[in-house]
Structure 1
Amino acid sequence: MFQYRQTLVRLRLGDSDREIARSRMMGRKKVAQIREIALVRGWLAPDAALPDDAVVAAALMRKEPLPASCVSTLEPWREQIANWYAAGIQGTTIHATLVRNHGYTGSVSAVYRFLHQLVVDNADDVTLRLEFKPAEAAQVDFGAGPPITDVHTGEIFKTWFFVMTLAWSRHQYAEFVRDQTVATWLGCHRRAFEWFGGTVARVTIDNAKCAITRACTYEPEVQRSYGECAEGYSFKIDACPPRDPQKKGIVESGVKYIKGSFLPLREFRDLADANRQLHEWVMGTAGNRIHGTTREMPLKRFADVEKSLLTPLPAVPPQLATWAKVKVHGDSHVQYDYNYYSVPFKLVRQELWLKASDTLVTLYQGIEAVASHVRFKHRGERKTLPDHMPPQAQAWLLKDTQWCLAEAERIGPACAAMVHAMFRDKVLIRMRAVQGVLGLKKKYGVARLEAACSRANHYGTPGLKVVKSILEKGLDLQELLAGFDAMATTYTEGGRFYRQTNTILQ
C-alpha cells in the first residue's frame, strides 16, 4: 500500500513511468496499469485529494485467482510431501524420490519453495510471553561445563553447571557439579534457596530423570525424592511439556549467558576454584548488568523488591533423601551406589523402597521400615546384620574358630587336642571337618565323642572320618590295644631281627 500511494504521488507530480521504474519501486508495466486506473477515477487531478487506503486497495489489489502458472507443479503430491517433511526428510531426498518414482521434471528449488509455503501455511502457533510477579517463580536447568583438571591430583573430569534464575528479577544462582544425580539435584536446590534467602511459589523445570520419572504434557510423574524436597521447601513443581523448552526460556537464556560471557578464556584449578569464580561473577558482572528484557540490574531488582517477598526458609532444613526401588538379591542384600546392605531373609526376590540420606540407608516394604544401616562413604562395601540371615546361616556364622575351640574344651581334653591338631593343618582349612566332629555330640553324646577322640589321638589319626568310623563301629567302647606299647618297645629297643650297625658293616 505504501508503494501504491507513493506511485500515485509521483504520478500526480508528473514523473514518467520510466522514472518511477528506475527508482525500483515497481516495474513499468505495473506503473502503467496504475496510471490507467488512476486516470479513470480522477486520482491524478492536482486539486483532488488522494483516496483512502481502502479505496486504493479495492481498486488496485488483485482479486482474481492466480493464473495456472502460479500453481506449484508439486501440488498433486502435496499430502505426501507434507508427510515426508513432517517425518524429517530433507528437500533433496524428496526431489530425488519424486523424480525416481513419479517422473517429476521440476527443479530442487521448486521443492524448497513448496516446503517453505507448507511452513508458512502451518505457522498457526502464536508465542505468548509469560509474565511473572515477584517471588512467584524460578526456572532451573543444567548446562554443559568445561572439563576441569585438578592441579592437586591431575584428574580430568567432565562438569555441568546448575542454574536457578528468579523469573521476575532475573537474579540467579549457579554452581558447577560433577554429575546430574538426584542427590546433586537436591543439594543444588538447597544451596540455591540458601543463596537467595528464601523460596518461590513454583519452580519450572524440564524433564530430567533426576526430577521427573515419566514425562507427560498433562500428568508427569515426579521423582519421589524431588517431591519430598518440594514439600519441605513449600514450592510447587511446574514441569515443561516434552520437547518444549520455551516454557523456561528465562533460564535457557541464563545458561547461554554463562556459556558466552563467563566460561570463555578462564582457567580453573579445581571444582572449588571454578565455583568461587562463578559466584563472584554472578554477584558482580551478571548481577549488575542492565538486563536486556527488564532494562534493570538483576541484583538491584532482587534486593529492592523480590528478596523481601520470598517465602522464608524452614527453621529446620528438610532432610534431602534419595528414593529408589531396589530388588532383594538371593543373599538377602540390596545394592545401592555400589554398596550392599542386608534385609530380612524372608524378603528375598521382593522389591523394596530404599531411602538414602547423607548418613542413613533405610529400606521399606510399603510404609513399614524393614531395615536400617549407616550409609557407607566408599564404594564396594557390604553390611550384613546377623539377624537378617536365616537360622542355619546364623548358626554357621556363629561357629567360628573361637567357638569351635571353646566347644571342644567343654567336651574334653582329647577333643580339644584333636581340634587344635586339625586347625594346625598347613594345607587345608579344616573348619567344616572340625564342625563335623563337634556335631557328632548330638548323636553319640559327650562321653563317647571324648573317648573316640582319645582313641584317634592315640593312634595319631585325628580327623572326622576316623572319629565317625570309631563311633559307628563302637570301638570307643573297647580298651586300647594292650600290646601296642610292647610292640613299640620291640621295634625301638631291640627284637627278633634287631642287629647292631657294626655287625652289619663287617
Structure 2
Amino acid sequence: MSNQTIGSIMVREIIRMKEMGFSMRKIARSIGKSRTTILKYITSIEASDLSFKELLELTSEDIYELFGTTQSIASSNTDVIQKELLAFYPYVEKELKRVGVTRHILWDEYKQKHPEGVMYSRFCESYRQWSKKSDGYMPVAHKYGEKLFIDYAGKKLHIIDRQTGEIKPVEVFVGTLGASQYTYIEASFSQQIPDFITSVQNSFFFFGGVPACVIPDNLKSAVTKADKYEPFVNEQFARFSEHYNTSVMPTRSRKPKDKPLVEGAVNIAYTRIYAALRNTEFYSIGELNAAIKVCLEAHNKSPFQKKEHSRWTLFHDNEKACLKPLAIEKYELRDYKTATVQKNCHVYYSPDKNYYSVPHTLIGKKIKMILTQSVVEIYHQQTRVAFHSRSRKAFDYVTLKEHLPVNHTYNLDWSSEYFINWAAKIGANTKESIEKILLQKQYPEQNYKSCMGILSMAKKVGNQRLDNACKRALLFDAVGYNPIKNILEKGLDKLEDQVKLFYTIPIQHENIRGSEYYN
C-alpha cells in the first residue's frame, strides 16, 4: 500500500473521529500519533472551508493532495500551473457573485481549459489563500441582487432655517448593494420610523428593484430587540419588507465585520460628498439632497481603485437584472394599536376620537388595529375580522350592521353627528354640553341615552330654557343629564342674570386701583 493511500486513510479516520466528538487525546491514542501531529491535521481540516461530510466524500487523491503535505500550492505545483491559477482567479471572483454559480462549477470550467490542472480541493484552498486579505479575513462573495446593506453616517450634515438662521442637523442615510457596491445616499430629518422607511423605500426606487435581503444595523427603527441569532424586527419595518417581498437580516451588535461594505460607503461619503459640500449652505432638505445626488452620481461612476470598471457599470451590466420587481404601489405607513372590544361591539381609536365596529362575538376580546391613511383593518389572533374606511370625524361611529346583535340594531341611526346637529338647533350652550358628554369615557349607548334625555327636555321647557340650563351646567362644570334636569326642575336656569351679575360686578376697595388707573 502506497504512502499516499496510507495518508488518506489516516486523514479520513481523523475526520471521522472528530465528527463523532472524540477528544484530541483519544484520536491520538487511536491513530498512534502524537497530539501535536493530530493538532496540525485538525487545524488544516478546519481551515479547508469544507464540512466533515464534504471531506469524507472526497477521493483519496484529493484528501492526500489537500492534507498530505504542508507545502503551499506555490511549491507543490509547477510554475505554469500556478500562473494559470492566478490568471483564472479574477474570473472566479467575478462569477461567484452570480446567482447559482458555485466553486465546483468554476473548477469544472478550469479543468476543461487546463486538464492537467489541480484537483478541486487544492483549487479551493489556493483560491482561499489568493482571496485572503491582510487582516486574515476572506472577502465575502456577494451574489448579484442578494443583499442591500443600510446604515446612517455617524457624522451629520445640516441645513439653515431662512427665517431664524438656526442650524438644523440632519441625518445621512447610506445604502449599498453587496455585489456591485452601487450606493444610494440621502439626507433626512431623523432616524425615526417614518423617515427611516421612506429612505429605504427611496433607495429601492433609485435602484429600480428590490434586493432579496435588507441588512440594517441594530437601530431602533429597524430592530426592537437585538439578538445574536433571532433579533426582533420592528413591526412597521417587517410590514414594509413584506410589502416589497424582501427579507430583513440585522447585523450582530458591535460586529462591524458584518457590514464592511456600508461602513466603507460611509467613509467614502465623507470624502466624496461631505468634503465636496463643505463650503455650500443649504436652506432646505430638498436642496441638500439635490446636491448629494450630483456627488453620488460622480461617486458611482468613478472606477474602483486598480480596476477599470465602476459601481455604475457593475450595477447596470449585472446586478440590476437580478433585483426583484418593485411593488405596484408604494408602501403606506401604518399605525398599530391594541384595544379591547367594548360592549357596544366597537373599538376606540384615541388619536381620531372615533369608533369602529367589530363582530359582537368578540366583545371583551383583545384585538389589533392596523390603520393606514385610508383604511382600518382589525385582527383577532392573526385573522382579519373587520375592514373599514378610515374616518377623520371626532365622535364618529363607523358601523357595519352585521357586526351588531339583533337587539342593538334599533338605534343604528344614532351617531355623534346626529346628536350634535340636533343640539345646534337648540342653542350654542346645548351643543357644547352635548359635545362634552360625547367625550366622556363610557359606553357610547350610555352617552347617546344621556344626549337623548337632555335634548328631549326641550319639548317640555322650550329651547331657550334648556340652553340656559346647559349654560349654567357648563359654568359650574356639571354637565350631565341629572344636573341639567335638576337645574330645570328647580328653576335655576331663570337665575342666569344673577349668576352673571355675581361674576361681572367689580369689587370696590380702596386698595384696588381699577381699570381707569391704567388709562
Q: Which residue of 2 aligns with 1:270?
A: 284
Indicate if the aligned counterparts of 2:375 and 2:388 stay in contact, CA closer than 8 A: yes
Question: Residue by residue, what CA displacement relative to the aligned partner does 1:469-494 show, whole Å, maximum 9, x if unpaired?
Answer: xxxxxxxxxxxxxxxxxxxxxxxxxx
SS of residue matched to 2:326: coil
Q: Aligned residue for 1:420? A: 464
How far does the alpha carbon of each residue in 1:411-435 deviate from its partner, in whole angstroms, 9 at most, with x for none?
A: 4xxx32xx52353479724797995
2:251 matched residue in structure 1: 240
* Structure 2 residue identity aligned to 1:135: G
2:146 is equivalent to residue 136 of structure 1: yes
The correspondence for 1:463, drawn from 477, 488, 493, is: 488
What whole-Å deviation, never above 9, does each CA across 1:429-472 have from its counterpart, x for those lacking one?
A: 479799559979xxxxxxxxxxxxxxxxxxxxx831369xxxxx
Establish whether residue 396 from structure 1 lines up as the match of residue 486 from structure 2: no
Aligned amino acid, residue 458 of structure 2: A
* Other-structure match for 2:320: 307
The total of aligned residue pairs comes to 305
2: CA distance, partners of 1:161 / 1:370: 40
Structure 2 residue 339 is matched with structure 1 residue 298: no
Structure 2 Cα separation of the partners of residues 296 and 188 of structure 1: 27
Shift of 1:138: 1.6
Partners of 2:321 and 2:479 in 1: CA distance: 76
Shift of the alpha carbon at 1:191?
1.6
1:458 maps to what in 2? none
Q: Which residue of 2 aligns with 1:148?
A: 159
1:261 pairs with 2:261: no
| Counterpart in the other structure of 1:357 | 372
Letter in 2 for 1:274: L
Asked whether 1:408 is paired with 2:458, we answer yes
1:159 equivalent in alignment to 2:203:
no
Aligned to 2:215: 204
Look up the SS of the partner of 1:174 in the other structure.
strand
Structure 1 residues 157 and 354: alpha-carbon distance in aligned structure 2, compared to 1, 3 A threshold: farther
Contact 2:178/2:261, CA 8 A, preserved across alignment: yes
CA distance in 1 between counterparts of 2:235 and 2:156 reads 27
Once the two structures are superposed, the pairs formed by residues 35-46 of structure 1 within 5 Å of their partners are none
Partner of 1:223: 234
Indicate whether 1:286 and 2:299 are aligned. yes
Query: Structure 1 residues 437, 215: closer, same or farther in 2, change over 3 A?
Result: closer
Looking at structure 2, the residues matched to 183 and 340 of structure 1 have their Cα atoms a distance apart, in angstroms, of 23
Q: 1:333/1:312 Cα in 2 relative to 1: closer, same or farther (>3 Å)? A: closer
> Amino acid of the residue matched to residue 266 of structure 2?
V
Note the C-alpha offset of 1:213: 2.2
- Is the aligned partner of 1:188 residue 2:232? no
Deviations 1:67-123 (A, max 9, x none): xxxxxxxxxxxxxxxxxxxxxxxxxxxxxxxxxxxxxxxxxxxxxxxxxxxxxxxxx
**CA distance in structure 2 between the partners assigned to 1:136 and 1:217 by the alignment:** 21
Tell me how far apart the structure 1 counterparts of residues 167 and 364 of structure 2 sit (CA, whole Å): 40
- Mind listing any 5+ residue stretches in structure 2 that lack a counterpart? 1-70, 72-134, 398-414, 417-441, 493-519
Using structure 2 for the length normalisation, give the TM-score. 0.50
Answer yes or no: is the 8 Å Cα contact 2:145–2:323 preserved in 1. Answer: yes
Alpha-carbon distance change, 359 to 253 in structure 1, aligned in 2, over 3 angstroms: farther
* Cα distance between partner residues in 2 of 1:308 and 1:184: 28
Q: Which residue of 2 aligns with 1:473?
A: none
Structure 1 unaligned blocks of 5 or more: 1-53, 55-124, 441-461, 468-506
Which amino acid in 1 is paired with 2:368?
W
Describe the SS at the equivalent of 1:301.
Answer: helix
Q: Is the 8 A contact 1:163 1:174 kept in 2?
A: yes
Greater Rg over alpha carbons, structure: 1
Cα 1:190–1:398, aligned 2, differ >3 Å: closer, same or farther? Answer: farther
Q: Cα deviations across residues 221-275 of structure 1 (Å, max 9, x unaligned)? A: 2223322322332322222122212211111111122223312313212101011
- Could you give the per-residue CA deviations for residues 314-366 of structure 1, whole angstroms, max 9, x where no partner exists? 3x225434353545699974556xx6554679999976434243444545443
Tell me the distance in 1 between the aligned counterparts of 2:228 and 2:474: 65
Please give the per-residue CA displacement for 1:185-240, whole angstroms capped at 9, x wherever unaligned.
Answer: 22222221111111222222222222222221212222233223223323222221
Give the direction of change, closer, same or farther, for the CA distance of 1:221–1:437 in structure 2 (3 Å limit).
closer
Q: Secondary structure at the match of 1:140?
A: strand
Is contact 1:199–1:233 with CA below 8 Å preserved after alignment? yes
- On the 8 A contact 1:207/1:215 being kept in 2, the answer is yes
Residues 111-122 of structure 1 correspond to what in structure 2 (within 5 A)? none
Superposition deviation, residue 399 in structure 1: 5.4
SS at structure 1 position matched to 2:150: strand
> SS of 2:446's equivalent?
helix
In structure 2, the CA distance between the partners of 1:422 and 1:216, relative to structure 1 (3 Å rule), is closer
Could you tell me how far apart the structure 2 residues matched to 1:155 and 1:329 are?
Answer: 47
CA shift at 1:158, angstroms? 3.0
SS in 2 for 1:287: helix
Matched letter for residue 396 of structure 1: S
1:465 partner letter: K
Q: 1:293 to 1:162 in 2, by over 3 A?
A: farther
**CA RMSD, 1 decimal:** 4.1
% identical equivalent positions: 20
The structure-2 alpha-carbon separation of the partners of 1:201 and 1:371, relative to structure 1 and needing over 3 Å to count, comes to closer
